[in-house]
Structure 1
Amino acid sequence: MHNQNASAAIINDGAAFTEEHALVSPLALYSEYQRMDIELRAPEEMPMSHWHGQVEVNVPFDGDVEYIINGEIIHLKQGHITMFWACVPHRLSDPCHCRRMAIFNLPMHLFLSWPINRELINHVTHGMVVQSNFSQQISEFEIRRWQQELQHKNEQMKQLTMDEIGLMIKRFSLSGWTHLLVNHTSKTHQNGVSKHAQFYVSQMLEYIAAHHDSTLTIQQIAEHVQLNQNYAIGIFQRVMQLTMKQYITAMRINHTRVLLSDSDKAILDIALTAGFNSSSRFYDTFKKYVGMTPLKYRKLCQEKQFL
């Protein structure tokens, strides 16, 4: 976003995407970084560290595995849930004897929207690696079912699956967790981001989560964290691998999908509740990101033959 417009840049979801250095469309980024992804497979050694903007959740089912996260060796225990914000450089260094492992990539906007322990959220967004105190909180059967249901043509079924995964994380928070890694490093890694950047982006994420249903400007977000607007834009995109606008759109669209599926509110009311400033803006943005109109989405959710 150009500097002369930054102070007045209201984050309206249907506006044209004009970021100067974007090499892919916002829809491609939405598809890659803002959808929930679940794998169930044999863990494989990674030759190099990588990073991404989602919350990563790993569950090895039949043996321990070894990761290197932020340069530290971390052991993921069989049957336990391990969770971390994947903007820190990480790689699976040794699959050991494990042959079946679940890997979740959870969009940050979903993670922040779930009713889970604030301390857990703070630990994850500040770079800690946390592991459940108890094993066997989830089964391979449930993982396979969720994989299938996320591909279901019924949108209400997809939403139910996401709700169940949210409840898995809530159970994790209620059952207690142990810190495997506390992020003390302040170095900037070649394949990751600094603790400094993580800290400021975590503050921006909290502010956006609290205000995504109202008119938001980049200026407001930058002022909240006391950063220059262009610097705030840059570190947000570097950490999250998508722009603030794309991230806020994801939060708003997720909110409207739930309301369309589970309530009988008028579509205009839903649009305004989620932070869209007009029904036309909402219709255009929803169709662009979901692939159908809000009305069609609601009808699909309500038609029992799609179950």
Structure 2
Amino acid sequence: MQAKHKPTSFDPNRADFEPYGLTCTQWQPSPMQRPDHHNEVELNFLKSGSVTYIHGGKKTVVQVGKLSAFWAAIPHQIIDFSHETEFFVATIPLQHFLQWRLPEEFVQPLMRGQFLCEDSIDKASSDTYLFQHWELDLLDDLPRNEKPVILEMQARLTRFALNCPAISESQSVRNHLASVSDSGLNKVEKMACFIAKNYTQKLTVRQVGEHVNLHPNYAMNLFQKTFGTTLINYLTQHRVSHAQRLLSTTDMPITEIALQSGFLSISRFNDAFCRACGCSPREYRSSLILTEQ
């Protein structure tokens, strides 16, 4: 089955956080001049070749034949690829993803910035078929074509979630999002996106709550009920991920990295970074240098 249009590639001039919407396309990987951010869950499927990202400050390799997923509001940037690469990319609006109410043990790591990858290539053949069909179905940009794609994406991610190594058989029946209304999920989506767009600035819980017209305490409770982590921890994780990316891709002084990542002092930065990464920012940068030698 052949696609009816040429593969696409990253446009460095696209506006930051400009939405892609519901899409599926064969992607032509290229070195990205800057990280991309967008408020969708992104699926990657590699038929052949190799693609390497800097994702949230960490080097991540997309594995052939294994479905991968990540929340694309986390900074991600292709830094290496092979020329024979066949690479599918699908994007799912966050509201759709949250409404599917997948197991919390799958949703929470994804929303905290983990790059999730299946541990088997058993579904490679069927995934090739699915991604090709999704691409063709969405090519005409007709609303009627979206429904079967959405249903199939939901079913595929449900299988992914239930077979995720982080989820045991006893945990997989739990459904953390079931008690959150659709209107609540919409507000959580807006809060998550607001944080992702503004984490490098001075940001308070009150500001996040006001953005969605909620009292700060209610906003915090709703956010934690959905994602299983506090709003403050979520904000800090974004800042730490930003700092990891700067530590790994620039020679910028650590104090400047702390400020550009949204931390108000070097002591708060060091404390948050050590708790998240198990080492100091300086040790993290040194370990990257040793790895490359």
When the two structures are superposed, what TM-score results if normalisation uses the length of structure 1? 0.48
Equivalent in the alignment of 2:251: none
Contact 1:64–1:75 (CA under 8 A) maintained in structure 2: yes
Equivalent in the alignment of 1:166: 154
Equivalent in the alignment of 1:220: 214
Matched, 1:48 2:34: yes
Matched, 1:120 2:71: no
Contact 2:43–2:68 (CA under 8 A) maintained in structure 1: yes
Letter paired with 1:93 = I
Contact 2:24–2:135 (CA under 8 A) maintained in structure 1: yes
What displacement does 1:38 show? 1.0
Deviation per CA, 1:25-74: give whole Å up to 9, x if none: xxxx9xx6272011113322212212111111111111232111122111
What displacement does 1:98 show? 4.4
Identity score, percent: 18
What displacement does 1:96 show? 2.4
Contact 2:106–2:164 (CA under 8 A) maintained in structure 1: no
Question: In structure 2, which of residues 18, 25, 29 is the aligned counterpart of residue 39 of structure 1?
Answer: 25
Matches within 5 A, 1:17-36: 33=19, 35-36=21-22
Secondary structure at the aligned position of 2:214 is classed as helix
Secondary structure at the aligned position of 1:35 is classed as coil
Structure 2 residues not aligned, in runs of 5+? 1-14, 167-195, 222-230, 239-293
Contact 1:88–1:192 (CA under 8 A) maintained in structure 2: no
Letter paired with 1:116 = L
Letter paired with 2:89 = I
Letter paired with 1:144 = Q
Contact 2:20–2:91 (CA under 8 A) maintained in structure 1: no
Equivalent-residue separation in structure 1 for 2:67 and 2:201 (angstroms):
27
Matched, 1:142 2:130: yes
Ranges of 4+ aligned residues in structure 1 off by more than 6 Å: 195-198
Q: Name the CA shift for 1:54/1:157 in 2 (closer, same or farther; >3 Å).
A: closer
Matches within 5 A, 1:1-307: 33=19, 35-137=21-123, 138-151=126-139, 155-177=143-165, 194=199, 218-220=212-214, 222-226=216-220
Structure 1 residues not aligned, in runs of 5+? 1-28, 179-190, 205-216, 240-307
Equivalent-residue separation in structure 2 for 1:222 and 1:99 (angstroms):
47
Deviation per CA, 1:123-181: give whole Å up to 9, x if none: 11111111111225343332121122224587444201210011111111112247xxx
Q: Name the CA shift for 1:197/1:103 in 2 (closer, same or farther; >3 Å).
A: farther
Letter paired with 1:165 = M
Contact 2:28–2:87 (CA under 8 A) maintained in structure 1: yes
Contact 2:26–2:89 (CA under 8 A) maintained in structure 1: yes
Q: Name the CA shift for 1:195/1:128 in 2 (closer, same or farther; >3 Å).
A: farther
Deviation per CA, 1:83-106: give whole Å up to 9, x if none: 111112111111125421111111
What displacement does 1:121 show? 0.7
Secondary structure at the aligned position of 1:150 is classed as helix
Equivalent-residue separation in structure 2 for 1:220 and 1:96 (angstroms):
48
RMSD: 3.9
Equivalent-residue separation in structure 1 for 2:29 and 2:141 (angstroms):
29
Q: Name the CA shift for 1:192/1:139 in 2 (closer, same or farther; >3 Å).
A: same
Larger RCO (CA within 8 A; separation ≥ 6): 1
Contact 1:152–1:158 (CA under 8 A) maintained in structure 2: no
Aligned length: 177
Equivalent-residue separation in structure 2 for 1:145 and 1:106 (angstroms):
15
What displacement does 1:82 show? 1.4
